[in-house]
């Protein structure tokens, strides 16, 4: 019995340590290649959302799986366009499909849609997002995935789509959270489990400071 208990403690410590390594890997990459631009914008286009470092994203996908593997996830939901890459890489570890909300209705989408409005911090506009009703239903247990979390509007829009479908949001996996903008706190206060792999405390004078 003593030996068994020791094994349990050992396994837990390894998992937590593994998660810390993934977060440090991401933080180091942000400091190396991230660019703080005017308007409080962090550009990670060289490795996350324009050019994608697939090896790094695979490690982050594994971490999302470690965090949510016991949540019964059967579908991943994201929003076009920059969330699609990390969502697809994450989905392979869950062996589930990815659904992405489109920001405009195209001719090849049916008229049977769930819709929500989303304000974009980066682009400074409001857009409608849509998902065909055949891809979300009341049996779904959804993991929301996105590259950034700032004011939380994108995730709230995705949650609204799930609510309309009767789907259950089991949590949200975020690559980078700008903690000081409050979106993550808002979502957590609503009872949504939010797991962010890098949490930024501040970006002042071009210097990125991470939450401890």
Measured in degrees and rounded to the nearest 5, phi and psi for residue 22 equal -60, -45
Q: Is the dihedral of CA 136, 139, 145, 149 positive or negative?
A: positive
Q: Which CATH number covers residue 181?
A: 3.40.50.2020
In the predicted model, what is the mean pLDDT of the chain? 88
pLDDT-above-70 percentage for the chain: 86
> Tell me, what's the pLDDT at 205?
86
Residue 68 has pLDDT above 90, yes or no: yes
Q: Which residue has the higher pLDDT, 90 or 103?
A: 90
Would you say residue 202 has pLDDT above 50?
Answer: yes
User: pTM for this structure?
Assistant: 0.86
Confidence grade of residue 126 (pLDDT, cut at 50, 70, 90)? confident
- Count of domains forming the chain: 1
Quick one: three-class SS letters along 100-166? Answer: EEECCCCCCCCCCEEEEEEEECCCCEEEEEEEEHHHCCCCCEEEEEEEEECCCHHHHHHHHHHHHHC
Residue 121 is predicted with a pLDDT of: 63
Buried residues in 119-132 as b, exposed as e (16+ CB within 10 A): eebeeeeebebbbb
pLDDT at 37 over 80: yes
Between CA 167 and CA 176 the distance in angstroms is 25
- Grouping H, G, I as helix, E, B as strand and the rest as coil, residue 175 is strand
Q: What is the percentage of the chain residues whose pLDDT exceeds 90?
A: 75
User: Which sign does the torsion angle of CA 182, 159, 24, 81 carry?
Assistant: negative
Domain containing residue 174: 2-210
Q: What is the pLDDT of residues 110-122, one digit of tens each?
A: 679 999 999 776 6
Instruction: Give me the pLDDT at residue 6, please.
Output: 35
Q: Cα 193 from chain centroid?
A: 11
Burial letters 48-68, b for 16+ CB under 10 A, else e? bbeebbeebbebbbbbbbbbb
Token pair recorded at residue 127: 């857009």
Predicted confidence band of residue 65 (pLDDT cuts 50, 70, 90): very high
Position 12 scores a pLDDT of: 31
The Cα 9–Cα 27 span in angstroms is 27
pLDDT of residue 10: 28
Q: Are residues 78 and 87 in contact, defined by beta-carbon separation less than 8 angstroms?
A: yes
């Amino acid at each position: 019995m003593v030996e068994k208990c020791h094994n349990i403690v050992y396994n837990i410590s390894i998992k937590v340590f593994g998660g810390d390594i993934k977060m440090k890997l991401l933080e180091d990459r942000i400091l190396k290649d991230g660019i703080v631009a005017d308007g409080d914008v962090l550009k990670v286009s060289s490795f996350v959302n324009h050019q994608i470092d697939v090896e790094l994203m695979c490690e982050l996908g594994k971490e999302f799986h470690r965090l949510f593997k016991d949540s019964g996830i059967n579908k991943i939901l994201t929003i076009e366009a920059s969330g699609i890459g990390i969502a697809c890489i994450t989905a392979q570890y869950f062996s589930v499909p990815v659904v992405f909300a489109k920001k405009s209705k195209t001719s090849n989408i049916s008229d049977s849609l769930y819709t929500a409005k989303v304000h974009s911090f980066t682009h400074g506009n409001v857009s409608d997002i849509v998902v065909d009703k055949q891809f979300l239903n009341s049996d779904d247990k959804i993991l929301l995935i996105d590259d950034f979390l700032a004011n939380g509007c994108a995730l709230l829009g995705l949650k609204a789509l799930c609510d309309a479908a009767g789907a259950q949001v089991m949590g949200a996996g975020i690559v980078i959270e700008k903690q000081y903008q409050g979106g993550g706190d808002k979502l957590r206060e609503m009872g949504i489990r939010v797991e962010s792999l890098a949490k930024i405390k501040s970006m002042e004078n071009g210097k990125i400071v991470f939450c401890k």
